[in-house]
């Protein structure tokens, strides 16, 4: 591939966005899980759990999330707020990769504590004094999430933070789902305190490979600063909605057979 000019690159990636940013994308993507719900709290709960579990084959991720919905009696928010000890026993044995029932039970506990005092999960991502940057939001969320004496140490590997240098792929994807809004309706756009223009593009090994080919990143590691570098490159193509190019990079990284994360 010859080196594309900025205008050529924008045209090429905009075409790829149009190819993948459409309702048919939802069916085979993990975002199909929160799309099963209408209530914002259900969307937030299953959105975060789905994002955290988005590791491995997409088909398996979706199947595991459907299992989780079934174990929560198909009412995530109601389960979180009104479960009995017997209900919690129904979560025992849940496992996906290294995420197990110990992690899941703590997520349920966090959701219960949070929604007992807040109307939306968005507030867990907003530092005192208001939104500043997505980096600050993710650091704040990790602190909020583990702000309990019984927080399991093992669960920390499932909630990334820029403070530890992580690219935070899953949480950036979750924020894209909650914040980004356009006419195509894949992303929910239900959160209003975080500007769409400030979102950071999710990056994993697949996206990294494509981004390097397109000269969008130069840093060698895949870490938080690389995610920022990628997003800055994408902002030059669309300052208001840089993470729409997540659709393009993801699609290009896996070709027509988009089957894994």
**pLDDT per position as a tens digit, 122-155:** 999 999 999 999 999 999 999 999 999 999 999 9
Q: What is the pTM of this model?
A: 0.95
The pLDDT of 97-119, averaged and rounded, is: 97
The pLDDT of 207-226, averaged and rounded, is: 95
Higher pLDDT, 49 or 205: 49
- 3-class DSSP state for residue 260? strand
Q: What's the pLDDT at 112? A: 98
State the virtual CA torsion across 17, 19, 22, 26 in degrees, nearest 10. -100
What is the torsional sign of CA 234, 19, 21, 220? negative
Q: What's the pLDDT at 162? A: 98
The pLDDT of 33-56, averaged and rounded, is: 97
Residue pair 150/20 in contact (Cβ under 8 Å)? The answer is: no
Nearest to 258 by CA among 116, 65, 57: 57
Q: Cα–Cα distance between 202 and 175 in angstroms, integer? A: 10
Q: What's the pLDDT at 260? A: 40
As a whole number, the mean pLDDT across the chain is 94
Specify the DSSP element, H or E, that contains 99: strand 99-100
Q: What's the pLDDT at 253? A: 84
Q: Cα–Cα distance between 259 and 152 in angstroms, integer? A: 32
pLDDT of 204 over the 60 cut: yes
First-to-last C-alpha distance (Å) of the chain:
25
From residue 212, alpha-carbon distances to 22, 179, 220 in Å are 25, 26, 10
CA atoms within 13 A on the CB side of 83: 22
Burial of residue 209, with CB atoms counted within 10 A of its CB: 0-12 exposed, 13-18 middle, 19 or more buried: middle
Q: What's the pLDDT at 255? A: 66
Q: What's the pLDDT at 257? A: 39
């Amino acid at each position: 591939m010859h080196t594309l000019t900025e205008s050529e690159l924008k045209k090429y990636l905009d075409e790829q966005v149009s190819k993948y940013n459409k309702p048919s994308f939802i069916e085979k993507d993990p975002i199909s899980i929160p799309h099963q719900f209408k209530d914002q709290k259900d969307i937030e709960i299953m959105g975060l759990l789905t994002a955290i579990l988005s590791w491995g084959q997409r088909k398996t991720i979706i199947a595991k999330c459907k299992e989780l919905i079934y174990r929560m009696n198909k009412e995530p928010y109601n389960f979180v707020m009104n479960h009995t000890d017997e209900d919690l026993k129904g979560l025992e044995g849940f496992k996906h990769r290294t995420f197990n029932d110990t992690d899941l039970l703590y997520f349920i506990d966090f959701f219960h504590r949070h929604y007992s005092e807040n109307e939306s999960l968005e507030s867990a991502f907003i530092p005192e004094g208001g939104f500043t940057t997505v980096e600050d939001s993710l650091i704040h969320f990790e602190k909020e999430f583990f702000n309990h004496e019984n927080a399991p140490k093992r669960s920390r590997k499932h909630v990334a933070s820029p403070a530890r240098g992580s690219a935070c792929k899953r949480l950036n994807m979750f924020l894209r789902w909650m914040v980004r809004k356009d006419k195509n309706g894949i992303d929910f756009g239900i959160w209003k305190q975080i500007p769409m223009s400030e979102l950071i593009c999710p990056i994993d090994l697949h996206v990294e490979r494509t981004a390097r080919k397109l000269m969008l990143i130069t840093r060698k590691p895949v870490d938080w600063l690389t995610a920022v570098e990628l997003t800055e490159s994408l902002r030059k193509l669309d300052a208001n909605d840089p993470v729409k190019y997540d659709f393009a990079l993801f699609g290009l990284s896996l070709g027509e057979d988009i089957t894994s994360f």
